[in-house]
C-alpha cells in the first residue's frame, strides 16, 4: 500500500486529545439539541431518534478520530459512516462536525489511493445530499440548502485536505533536495581534496624528481671528471639544482599552509632542461672513457650529447597561454627525467609551434626490451598524459616507427596563434 506524505513525527497523545475534544463537543452539541437548538435529519422534517441516541451514535465516531494519523482509513469508515447517519436522521449538528473531520484526515494524512477514495466518497455524499434535499416540499430552496451543505461540509474539508497534503509533499521534496545537495557538496569537497592531492603529487614528481635527477647526474659526473674546472662546474650545477629543488619544495609547502597561495612557483625553464640533458650526455661520454673501448656504448655516448630546440612563440604569453606553457614545461621535465633515468644518448627535446598546435618531442636511444611498454605506463607516463589531456592535448610514447632503437615521446596541444620559426636555445 502506498504510504502517505512525509510530515512531522506522529504524536499519539495529540490525536487522543483531539478525539477527547470531539467527544466533549458532541456531548455539548447533543445537550444544546435537547434545548431545541440543533439540526433536523435530511430524510424527514423531524429527527428519527432522540438526542441521547445521537450522542450514543457520535461518541464512537469521535473516538475513531484518534486513529486519523495511524489509520486514517478507519476514521473514514467509522467516523464517516456514523456522522452521515446522524446527518440524515439525527437531531444534532455534531454529525456535520465529525463528517468534516472524516473527509479531511484521510486526504491530508492517508496514502494517495486513500485520498482519491475519500474524494470519491465526498462526491457520492454530495450527490446523495442533492438527491435527498430535492425531495423536500420546496425543491428550489431545498436544493440551495443542499448545495451550501456540499460546499461547507464536503468541498471545504476535501480542498483543505489536498492543500495540506501538497504542502507536506512540497516540504518533504525540499528536504530531500537539501539533503541531496549537502551530500553532493560533501562529495565535491572530497573530490576537490583528492584532485588537489593528485595535483600536488604531480608537481612534486615532475619538478622535484627532475632537479634530484640532475643532482645525481652532476654529482656522479664530478667524481669522474679529471679537470678541476670541469669538476667545479659540475658541482656548481649540482648545488644550483639542489637549491632549485628546495625552492620548489618550499613553494609547495607554502601553498599547503597559506590559503592565499593559488599555484606553487616552480623553477623550471627550457634552459634548465637543456642543462640536464647536457649533463646526461657528459655522463655517457665519461662512462665510455672509464670502461674503455666498447663499440656500442662508444657510439651512443659520443654521438652528439644533447640538443634542445624551443619555438620562441612558446615563451610569449601573448601567443601561448601561461597555463599551457607551464603544462608543457612539466611534461618536458618528466620526459627529460625519464630519458636520463631509462634512456641513453643521444637525447633530444624539440618544442615546435605551428598555426594550430604546439608539438613537444623528446627522444633518446634505448635497448629494445629493457624499457617499459606503452601499454603498461608508470607514474611518469600517466602524469604526462593526464597533463596533456588537461589542456586539450594528446600524448604518444613508444619506440619510434622509423628507428626501433629510439624511444619517442610526442605531445600535441592545440593553440590558435601562428608562431615564427624555431630557434635553438642549447
What percent of the chain shows pLDDT beyond 70? 76
Task: Check residue 206 and give its pLDDT.
Answer: 62
Distance, C-alpha 66 to centroid of its chain: 44
With a cut of 60, say whether residue 341 has pLDDT above it: yes
Q: Tell me what pLDDT residue 285 has.
A: 44
In angstroms, the first-to-last Cα distance of the chain is: 80
Lowest mean pLDDT among 76-85, 134-143, 301-310: 301-310
96: buried, middle or exposed (CB in 10 Å: 19+, 13-18, 0-12)? middle
The residue among 58, 128, 129 whose CA lies nearest residue 90 is: 58
Q: Count the Cβ atoms, other than its own, within 10 Å of residue 332.
A: 25
Q: What is the pLDDT of residues 342-398, one digit of tens each?
A: 888 888 999 988 888 899 999 998 866 654 444 445 667 888 888 888 888 999 998
Of residues 302 and 242, which shows the higher confidence score? 242
Count of Cβ atoms closer than 10 Å to residue 42 Cβ? 21
Distance CA 255, CA 53 (A): 85
Task: Tell me the three cell numbers of residue 377.
Answer: 605506463
Higher-confidence residue of 312 and 199: namely: 312
> What is the rounded CA–CA span in Å between residue 272 and residue 251?
18
Report the predicted TM-score, pTM, of the whole model to 2 decimal places: 0.50
Mean pLDDT score across all residues of the chain:
79
Q: What is residue 67's predicted lDDT score, i.e. its pLDDT?
A: 93
- Residues 41-98 have pLDDT tens digits of 787 666 788 888 889 999 999 999 999 999 999 999 999 999 999 988 887 888 999 9
d(CA 292, CA 410): 35
CA-to-CA distance for 177 and 27, rounded, in angstroms?
47
Show the cell assigned to 346.
643521444
pLDDT of res. 292 = 41
pLDDT higher than threshold 60 for residue 110: yes
**Is the confidence at residue 418, as pLDDT, over 60?**
no
HEC string of the chain equals CCCCCCCCCCCHHHHHHHHHHHHHHHHHHHHHHHCCCCCCCCCCCCCCCCHHHHHHHHHHHHHHHHHCCCCHHHHHHHHHHHHHHHHHHCCCCHHHHHHHHHHHHHHHHCCHHHHHHHHHHHHHHHHHHHHHHCCCCCHHHHHHHHHHHHHHHHHHHHHHHHHHHHHHHHHHHHHHHHHHHHHHHHHHHHHHHHHHHHHHHHHHHHHHHHHHHHHHHHHHHHCCCCCHHHHHHHHHHHHHHHHHHHHHHHHHHHHHHCCCCCCCCCCCCHHHHHHHHHHHHHHHHHHHHHHCCCHHHHHHHHCCCEEEEECHHHHCCCCCCHHHHHHHHHHHHHHHHHHHHHCEEEEEEEEEECCCEEEEEEEEECCCCCCCCCCCCCHHHHHHHHHHHHCCCEEEEEECCCCCCEEEEEEEEECCCCCCCCEECC
Q: Please write down the long-range contacts of 281-288, taking CB distance under 8 Å and 24 or more positions apart.
A: 281/305, 281/306, 281/345, 281/346, 281/347, 282/221, 282/234, 283/217, 283/220, 283/221, 283/224, 284/344, 284/345, 285/345, 286/221, 286/224, 286/225
Write out pLDDT tens, residues 7-32: 545 678 899 999 999 999 989 888 76
Q: How confident is the model at residue 424 (pLDDT cuts 50, 70, 90)?
A: very low
How many C-beta atoms surround the C-beta of residue 180 within 10 A? 10
pLDDT in tens, 193-245: 888 777 777 666 666 766 776 777 667 767 777 777 777 877 877 787 788 77
Amino acid at each position: 500500500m502506498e504510504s502517505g506524505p512525509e510530515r512531522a513525527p506522529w504524536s499519539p497523545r495529540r490525536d487522543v486529545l483531539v478525539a477527547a475534544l470531539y467527544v466533549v463537543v458532541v456531548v455539548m452539541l447533543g445537550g444544546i439539541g435537547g434545548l431545541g437548538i440543533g439540526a433536523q435529519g435530511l430524510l424527514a422534517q423531524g429527527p428519527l431518534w432522540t438526542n441521547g441516541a445521537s450522542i450514543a451514535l457520535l461518541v464512537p465516531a469521535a473516538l475513531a478520530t484518534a486513529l486519523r494519523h495511524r489509520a486514517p482509513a478507519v476514521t473514514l469508515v467509522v467516523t464517516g459512516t456514523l456522522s452521515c447517519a446522524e446527518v440524515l436522521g439525527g437531531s444534532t449538528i455534531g454529525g456535520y462536525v465529525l463528517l468534516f473531520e472524516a473527509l479531511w484526515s484521510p486526504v491530508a494524512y492517508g496514502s494517495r489511493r486513500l485520498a482519491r477514495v475519500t474524494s470519491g466518497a465526498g462526491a457520492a455524499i454530495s450527490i446523495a445530499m442533492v438527491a435527498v434535499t430535492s425531495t423536500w416540499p420546496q425543491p428550489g430552496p431545498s436544493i440551495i440548502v443542499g448545495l451550501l451543505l456540499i460546499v461547507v461540509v464536503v468541498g471545504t474539508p476535501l480542498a483543505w485536505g489536498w492543500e495540506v497534503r501538497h504542502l507536506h509533499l512540497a516540504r518533504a521534496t525540499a528536504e530531500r533536495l537539501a539533503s541531496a545537495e549537502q551530500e553532493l557538496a560533501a562529495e565535491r569537497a572530497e573530490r576537490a581534496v583528492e584532485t588537489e592531492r593528485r595535483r600536488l603529487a604531480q608537481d612534486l614528481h615532475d619538478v622535484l624528481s627532475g632537479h634530484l635527477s640532475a643532482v645525481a647526474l652532476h654529482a656522479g659526473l664530478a667524481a669522474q671528471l679529471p679537470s678541476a674546472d670541469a669538476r667545479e662546474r659540475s658541482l656548481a650545477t649540482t648545488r644550483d639544482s639542489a637549491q632549485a629543488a628546495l625552492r620548489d619544495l618550499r613553494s609547495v609547502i607554502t601553498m599547503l599552509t597559506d590559503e592565499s597561495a593559488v599555484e606553487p612557483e616552480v623553477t623550471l625553464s627550457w634552459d634548465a632542461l637543456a642543462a640536464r640533458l647536457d649533463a646526461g650526455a657528459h655522463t655517457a661520454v665519461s662512462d665510455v672513457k672509464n670502461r674503455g673501448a666498447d663499440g656500442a656504448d662508444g657510439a651512443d655516448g659520443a654521438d652528439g650529447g644533447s640538443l634542445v630546440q624551443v619555438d620562441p612563440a612558446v615563451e610569449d604569453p601573448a601567443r601561448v597561454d601561461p597555463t599551457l606553457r607551464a603544462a608543457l614545461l612539466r611534461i618536458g621535465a618528466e620526459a627529460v627525467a625519464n630519458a636520463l633515468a631509462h634512456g641513453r644518448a643521444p637525447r633530444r627535446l624539440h618544442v615546435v609551434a605551428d598555426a594550430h598546435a604546439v608539438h613537444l618531442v623528446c627522444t633518446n636511444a634505448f635497448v629494445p626490451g629493457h624499457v617499459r611498454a606503452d601499454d603498461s605506463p608508470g607514474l611518469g607516463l600517466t602524469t604526462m598524459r593526464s597533463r596533456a589531456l588537461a589542456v586539450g592535448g594528446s600524448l604518444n610514447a613508444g619506440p619510434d616507427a622509423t628507428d626501433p632503437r629510439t624511444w619517442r615521446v610526442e605531445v600535441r596541444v592545440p593553440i590558435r596563434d601562428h608562431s615564427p620559426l624555431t630557434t635553438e636555445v642549447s
